[in-house]
Amino acid sequence: MQEVSRDIFYQTIRNWEDVPFTQTDGYVRLQSGDDSSRVRYFLDEHIGCAAHVKRFAGLTMLMIDTECLQHKQTKPATYSRFYEALQQTGVDMIETNSRRPYEAEYEIGMRQAGFLRPVGSFSFEQTNQVDLTQPLGYNENWRRNIRQSDQSDLSLQCIGKPTDADIEDFLRLFREMCAHKHLSVPFTGKGLRILLSDPAFRLCFIVRGEERLSGIIYHHVRSHAGLLYAANGDEANRMHAGFQLYKQLLTRLAAEGVASFDMEKMAPSTHSSNAVFLFKQGIRGELLPLCGEWSWYRRGWYGVGMYFVKKYLWRKVQA
């Protein structure tokens, strides 16, 4: 394994079989605040990753959001060799979160490299994957809301090259949604411009006439697509526009030959996030467990310390 430049990294993985959206240039730049000093790129013959660098209390951590694979079928020894080599890069901690469907080979490789499940999980470890090669199916709640939204003359508008005005419209819808849910907006207009400059990400709206009611940013890499951000404005709920957004988008993607769509971040719970889970579950798909979070710490007690940092300093919600 070797550390390489950003350009060499993306030239190398360009034709690999499995490049998740989390490793695309636009998404990595969004997550790093477009600060190249906060990302390191690593490659061997079969695995590669853009790793985010976190520094605090004199310690350095690499955070990896799903690695790239030259071949989808990867042996445990290939995973363990890569992650053992990462431990020699001078860092104190490595945390990974794999969004791939669970496979025993991955877990074996990670454990053989000395990685364990972290103390406390802060990510969503299942997803709803919709098969677009089959007719779309919905539960009764979705069917009822789609029937109601069909009466509102709503249409899908997909943007080829988003302008600043398009991005501002999406931000407006997202701010309206976050205000109702008492959430903060996790990106800026500049960040969205960086993201949408990458061809792996696309922006669509549901409109009524000239009025944009709902919006979605989704990732599309080869034959797979999935949700990244969705927003419903103040008028969208009254007209059930969010349901129409997914119906029309998934129908369009299926017609374009996209094989599957990932609803992402399924989080059943006893609090408000359960409503999001129930909404996403309304589209008939396959609920899949993910490989999830793994961690390595040079000293064992770092793991306990990181739990408190995430929960009480970064204020992450335990999943």
In a shared domain, residues 194 and 117: no
| 174 and 87 within one domain | no
> Region 171-188: what's the mean pLDDT?
91
Query: Does residue 278 lie within any of the structural domains?
Result: no
Q: Do residues 226 and 261 touch, judged by C-beta distance below 8 A?
A: yes
φ, ψ for residue 63 (rounded to 5)? Answer: -120, 125
If asked whether residues 104 and 158 sit together in one domain, one would say no
Q: Are residues 108 and 179 in the same domain?
A: no
Same domain? For 168 and 118 the reply is: no
Claim to verify: residue 57 and residue 87 sit in the same structural domain:
yes
Average the pLDDT over each of 176-180, 295-299, 306-310 and give the range with the smallest value: 306-310
* Residues sharing a CB contact under 8 Å with residue 189, sequence separation 6 or more, in sequence order: 164, 167, 168, 171
Q: Are residues 9 and 30 in the same domain?
A: yes
Distances (CA, A) of 140 to 144, 147, 191: 6, 11, 37
Count structural domains, the chain: 2
- 114 with 185, same domain: the answer is no
In a domain, 273, yes or no: no
Q: Which domain holds residue 138?
A: 133-258
247 shares a domain with 298:
no
Tens digits of per-residue pLDDT, 122-148? 677 789 999 999 999 999 999 999 999
Check which CATH number belongs to the domain holding 230 and give it. Answer: 3.40.630.30
The answer to whether residue 270 is domain-embedded is no
Question: Do residues 40 and 146 share a domain?
Answer: no
Q: Kindly indicate the confidence band of residue 48, based on its pLDDT and cuts at 50, 70 and 90.
A: very high
Q: Is residue 47 part of a domain?
A: yes
Same domain for 116 and 138, yes or no, is no
Model pLDDT for residues 238-290, shown as the tens digit of each residue? 899 999 999 999 999 999 999 999 998 777 777 777 888 888 889 999 999 99
The model's pTM is: 0.92
Q: Which of 68, 142, 59, 124 is nearest to 93 (CA)?
A: 59
Average pLDDT over residues 11-25: 96
pLDDT computed for residue 125 by the predictor? 79
Q: Is 52 a member of any domain? A: yes
Does the residue 225 lie in any domain?
A: yes
Residue 319 lies in a domain: no
Statement to judge: residues 118 and 205 lie in one domain? no
Average pLDDT of span 84-96: 97
